[in-house]
Amino acid sequence: MFEVLPYLEPDPILGLSAAYKEDSNAAKIDLGVGVYKDEHGNTPIMTSVAKAQKILLERENTKSYITPQGHQGYIDNMLSLLLGEKSPVLMADRVAGVQAPGGCGALRILAELIARSNEQARVFVSDPTWANHIPLMSSAGLQLETYPYFDKEKAGIRFDAMVDTLKTAGKGDIVLLHGCCHNPTGADLTNEQWDVVLELAQERGFTPFIDVAYLGFGDGLDEDAYGIRLLAENLPEVVIAASCSKNFGLYRERVGLAAIITEDAKTRDIVQGQIQSVARGSYSMPPSYGGALVDIILSDTSLKKEWMSEVNSIRNRMQSLRTMLVDKLEENGAQQDFSFLNTQKGMFSFLCITPEQVREMRDKHSVYFVGSSRINVAGINQQNVDTLARALVSVL
């Protein structure tokens, strides 16, 4: 039976990781896989998470299933973090939500829910967008469209072109937006541009679908939530997929949230039953461990404060890495202006170089990142930044 299946090429990022491991160059640099790394190249366990693990070990007294929607404390705390503790939509009981296995799990079950609601729904995604958005949406049977987003030549957002395209979206359509720290470009909408998106949604009637995987890595936890809260408080419907992989460092625990803001509390009850039904048909019950840790951290004033401090430190470090790289490129005589890196946010940036130059970086200098020129800024450190800058200047 299975011999009829066609061969599929390895995922580009996973293939890149394998090539990096096989490279014998002691000075090789990995800027590909999207995980946070410290100065020594490790993905650390956050101190607040380590403390929460000890608390959970002492507190947990069963390995039975948790409830189908997940830890309610986790859901409530995450919604407060995203929407604000005094969010009017929370107070009006207009939000349905379930704990999902990672941000990917949240995206997929939300896509399935959208397909249940409207099989003809079009989902508009940014060009470019995170590569996995495409299979996660399309495998639910949804029709995909793109809207212009990033101009490599100008290293900036094509906002006018984006607006023109979104004017063609209408009621029943979905517009997928990155809540902050756009992946792969690092170029975020300004607050004023979010205001324009709101006006478009009100005028055209489309439903925003916000994917937020890096809350706190852009400008701050509250600052990064501007677009989410703006749309949530001013539209009848908003779909949200959130991940705790990055800002809690819980990559392997697969902790996500799927949330839907509905027009009223009655619709919320209907949607809550439907999203739980979708989840039941996908993975039955959510994993417990990671969600329990997040619940412990966000429910404890001291731990939450410590976690927020750690997020701030990660964000500030990544911004300093951007500045350091720009400075080193200038020191090494780069003719191209890379100052745009300092305006981009989060873990990722486009270097805005050609695929041929990306290959040369890998083949001649053992610097690994994907062909689009997206780099993981967190892969830079004090030990490799000079090598990286020299390599980049040489291929330019």
Domain boundaries, the chain: 10-44+308-395, 65-299
Model pLDDT, residue 211: 98
Model pLDDT, residue 9: 79
Give residue 266's pLDDT band: very low, low, confident or very high (50, 70, 90): very high
Model pLDDT, residue 8: 84
Choose, from 213, 242, 292, 391, the residue flagged as catalytic. 213
Is 327 known to be catalytic? Answer: no
Is 386 known to be catalytic? Answer: no
Q: Which CATH architecture has domain 10-44+308-395?
A: Alpha-Beta Complex (3.90)
Model pLDDT, residue 16: 83
Task: Calculate mean pLDDT across residues 95-109.
Answer: 97
Model confidence over 172-188: pLDDT tens digits? 999 999 999 999 999 99
Give residue 208's pLDDT band: very low, low, confident or very high (50, 70, 90): very high
Asked if 67 and 279 touch (Cβ cutoff 8 Å), the reply is no
Collapse the DSSP code of 181 into the 3-class scheme (helix H, G, I; strand E, B; otherwise coil) and give the result. coil
Model pLDDT, residue 268: 97
Task: Indicate if the pLDDT at residue 221 is higher than 80.
Answer: yes
Choose, from 30, 188, 211, 295, the residue flagged as catalytic. 211
Choose, from 37, 51, 246, 345, the residue flagged as catalytic. 246
Report the CATH fold assignment for 65-299: Aspartate Aminotransferase; domain 2 (3.40.640)
Task: Calculate mean pLDDT across residues 153-171.
Answer: 96
Q: Mean pLDDT for the chain?
A: 95
Model pLDDT, residue 20: 86
Task: Indicate if the pLDDT at residue 82 is higher than 90.
Answer: yes
Distance of CA 293 to the CA centre of its chain: 20
Is 264 known to be catalytic? Answer: no
Of 275, 262, 239, 200, which is closest to residue 121 (Cα–Cα)? 239
Model pLDDT, residue 173: 97
Query: CB within 8 A of 99, min separation 6: which ones?
Result: 69, 70, 71, 74, 75, 255, 256, 257, 286, 291
Residue with tokens 């191209």: 336
Task: Indicate if the pLDDT at residue 259 is higher than 80.
Answer: yes
Residue with tokens 């695929």: 355
Alpha helices in the chain (DSSP H): 12-22, 47-59, 72-83, 88-91, 102-117, 133-138, 159-166, 191-204, 221-224, 226-234, 265-282, 289-299, 301-331, 355-365, 385-395
CA dihedral 38, 43, 46, 49 (to 10 degrees): 180
Task: Calculate mean pLDDT across residues 3-14.
Answer: 82
Model pLDDT, residue 17: 81
CA dihedral 341, 225, 269, 199 (to 10 degrees): -80
pTM over 0.85: yes
Model confidence over 12-53: pLDDT tens digits? 777 788 888 888 899 999 999 889 999 998 999 999 999 999
Model pLDDT, residue 23: 87
Asked if 214 and 246 touch (Cβ cutoff 8 Å), the reply is yes
Task: Calculate mean pLDDT across residues 352-378.
Answer: 94
Is 194 known to be catalytic? Answer: no
Task: Calculate mean pLDDT across residues 252-258.
Answer: 97
Of 21 and 252, more confident:
252
The amino acid at residue 84 is G
- Of 4-18, 202-216, 305-319, which gets the smallest average pLDDT? 4-18
Model pLDDT, residue 91: 96
